[in-house]
């Protein structure tokens, strides 16, 4: 990844997310990225971060995620 105009790399490229806690279901979720299918040198997104946030808000904090994120169709089973 190349740096942008502000000398950073904040171009919205996919990145891993780690969620820690006693109630968090362990393991990896999502698929393995295809390293030969790139979008202008960056990986394609496989998970919309808003779905992860919606899951954390609803299942972790007991907050209605639609107030913050609008309606979300996909939710992740992050808690066991």
Alpha-carbon distance of 44 to 10, in angstroms, equals: 15
Tens digit of pLDDT for each residue in 34-59? 888 887 777 888 888 899 999 999 99
pTM of the model: 0.72
Tens digit of pLDDT for each residue in 15-24? 788 999 999 9
Q: What token pair was written down for 70?
A: 């609008």
Within a 13 Å sphere around the CA of 8, how many CA atoms are in the beta-carbon half?
Answer: 5
């Amino acid at each position: 990844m190349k740096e942008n105009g502000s000398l950073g790399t904040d171009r919205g490229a996919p990145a891993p997310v780690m969620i820690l806690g006693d109630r968090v279901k362990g393991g990896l979720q999502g698929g393995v990225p295809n390293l030969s299918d790139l979008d202008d040198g960056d990986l394609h997104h496989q998970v919309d971060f808003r779905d992860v946030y919606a899951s954390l808000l609803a299942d972790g904090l007991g907050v209605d995620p639609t107030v913050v994120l609008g309606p979300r169709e996909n939710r992740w089973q992050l808690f066991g």
